[in-house]
């Protein structure tokens, strides 16, 4: 048996489900039971009847699954897989921000630690942030964190003036506007798809702005696309190209490079491999634990998000 077959057999024996984010390595997406964006992973975790959830993603995703499923075993093949965005907002700093703005409610992106979620009124993901903020009373002042690009995008779309935390994702922040403009010249009919974690200098050139799932859905709904010459320029982590290419084989997806020509891969997302996935499942190692008192407060804003999505 090859390693993929062994992983699938272990899943059956242990009643385990493998969940993977779209930014995972192609071979991890292919072996997973479920591939999705941050919102879909949380929704799937909330309803699975598996005994073990193996989260092929970054730490906050496994933590979110554990908060939603405290009685299940949640494992992460690469426990060192952090997130620059989640790291940009410490719970103690958020607590101080709240003290300075006592009349504000806190809306936090799901890319945060459990301790930050515990201080939050409602969690959002890039799939539902706009929809959820629109449901909040217009006169309600809001602290939004930690992604200032997503927050700025929501402010522009809603006309709100949410106070924004000064955080960001290093992968989405480094896309090069110059390279994007060159690609637009090279592929003049191509549609530009961008994730709202990108800077405004990138978003201003986008035809479609949305979460990884929304960008994938757009590509599927618009393929084949003779108007766009069957070409889409994609400004998000390049892992999503695997699923896009599988779903739309007739389309050419062109990834926007980072500034200086660097790569647009999230090194944290790439830490999960077939080998550490196999080891984790076989040994039931790298189990995620969330402090009970933190989990008790963190589940409320996550459930609120699921209700408002
Ligand atoms: P979504 O999964 O909501 O598209 O967010 C992308 C991301 O950066 C996850 O870490
Ligand atoms: Fe975090 Fe950015 Fe990597 Fe997503 S792509 S896990 S936001 S560092």
The pLDDT, as a whole number, for residue 36 is 97
CA of 2 to the centre of ligand 1 (A): 31
C-alpha closest to that of 146 among 94, 188, 78: 94
The pLDDT, as a whole number, for residue 262 is 78
3-class SS string, 90-151: CHHHHHHHHHHCCCCEEEEECCCCHHHHHCCCEEECCCCHHHHHHHCCCCCCEEEECEHHHH
Ligand nearest to the CA of 210: 1
111 lines ligand 2 (CB under 6 A): yes
pLDDT tens figures, 248-306:
999 999 999 998 887 899 999 999 999 999 999 999 999 999 999 999 999 999 999 99
d(CA 20, CA 22): 7
* Fold annotation for 85-164: Rossmann fold (3.40.50)
171 lines ligand 2 (CB under 6 A): yes
CA of 111 to the centre of ligand 2 (A): 8
Closest residue to atom 9 of ligand 1, CA basis: 38
Domain 172-261: give its CATH superfamily: NadA-like (3.40.50.10800)
pTM of the model: 0.96
Mean pLDDT of all residues in 204-219: 97
d(CA 246, CA 232): 14
Closest residue to atom 5 of ligand 2, CA basis: 266
Peptide bond just before 146 cis, omega within 30 deg: yes
Partners of 255 in beta bridges: 234
Domain 3-80+268-291 of CATH type 3.40.50.150:
no
CA of 1 to the centre of ligand 1 (A): 34
298 lines ligand 2 (CB under 6 A): no
| Domains in the chain: boundaries | 3-80+268-291, 85-164, 172-261
Q: How confident is the model at residue 102 (pLDDT cuts 50, 70, 90)?
A: very high
175 lines ligand 2 (CB under 6 A): no
| Residue 260: CB atoms within 10 Å | 8
Task: Check if the beta carbon of residue 151 is closer than 8 Å to that of residue 169.
Answer: no
Helix axes 38-47, 59-68, angle to 10 degrees: 30
The pLDDT, as a whole number, for residue 260 is 84
**Given its phi and psi angles, is residue 15 left (phi above 0), alpha (psi -120 to 50 degrees) or beta?**
left
C-alpha closest to that of 251 among 271, 276, 226: 226
58 lines ligand 2 (CB under 6 A): yes
pLDDT tens figures, 165-209:
999 999 999 999 999 999 999 999 999 999 999 999 999 999 999
| Residue 247: CB atoms within 10 Å | 13
d(CA 225, CA 191): 9
Q: Do domains 3-80+268-291 and 85-164 have the same CATH topology?
A: yes
The pLDDT, as a whole number, for residue 28 is 98
The terminus-to-terminus CA distance of the chain in angstroms comes to 42
Closest residue to atom 7 of ligand 1, CA basis: 38
CA of 86 to the centre of ligand 1 (A): 12
The pLDDT, as a whole number, for residue 104 is 98
CA of 194 to the centre of ligand 2 (A): 15
Dihedral sign, CA of 104, 204, 247, 241? negative
243 lines ligand 2 (CB under 6 A): no
Dihedral sign, CA of 232, 238, 241, 243? negative
pLDDT higher than threshold 90 for residue 214: yes
Ligand nearest to the CA of 264: 2
CA of 13 to the centre of ligand 1 (A): 31
pLDDT tens figures, 232-251:
999 999 999 999 999 999 99
pLDDT tens figures, 114-161:
999 999 999 999 999 999 999 999 999 999 999 999 999 999 999 999
110 lines ligand 2 (CB under 6 A): no
């Amino acid at each position: 048996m090859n390693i993929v077959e062994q992983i699938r057999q272990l899943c059956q024996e242990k009643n385990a489900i493998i969940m993977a984010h779209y930014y995972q390595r192609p071979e991890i997406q292919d072996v997973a039971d479920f591939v999705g964006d941050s919102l879909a992973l949380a929704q799937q975790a909330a309803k699975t009847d598996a005994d073990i959830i193996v989260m092929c993603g970054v730490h906050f995703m496994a933590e979110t699954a554990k908060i939603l499923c405290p009685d299940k075993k949640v494992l992460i093949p690469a426990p060192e897989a952090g997130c620059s965005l989640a790291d940009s907002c410490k719970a103690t700093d958020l607590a101080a921000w709240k003290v300075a703005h006592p009349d504000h409610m806190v809306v936090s992106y799901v890319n945060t630690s459990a301790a930050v979620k515990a201080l939050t009124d409602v969690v959002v993901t890039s799939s539902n942030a706009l929809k959820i903020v629109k449901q909040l009373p217009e006169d309600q002042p809001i602290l939004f964190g930690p992604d200032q690009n997503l927050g700025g995008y929501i402010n522009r779309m809603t006309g709100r003036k949410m106070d924004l935390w000064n955080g960001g994702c290093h992968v989405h922040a480094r896309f090069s506007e110059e390279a994007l403009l060159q690609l637009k010249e090279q592929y003049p009919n191509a549609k530009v798809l961008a994730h709202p974690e990108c800077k405004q200098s990138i978003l201003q050139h986008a035809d479609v702005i949305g979460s990884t799932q929304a960008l994938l859905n757009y590509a599927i709904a618009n393929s084949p696309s003779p108007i766009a010459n069957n070409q889409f320029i994609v400004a998000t982590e390049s892992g999503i190209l695997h699923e896009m290419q599988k779903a739309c084989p007739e389309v050419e997806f062109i990834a926007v490079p980072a500034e200086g020509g660097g790569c647009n891969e999230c090194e944290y997302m790439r830490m999960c491999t077939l080998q550490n996935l196999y080891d984790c499942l076989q040994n039931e190692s790298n189990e995620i634990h969330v402090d009970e008192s933190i989990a008790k407060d963190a589940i409320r804003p996550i459930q609120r998000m699921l209700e408002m999505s």
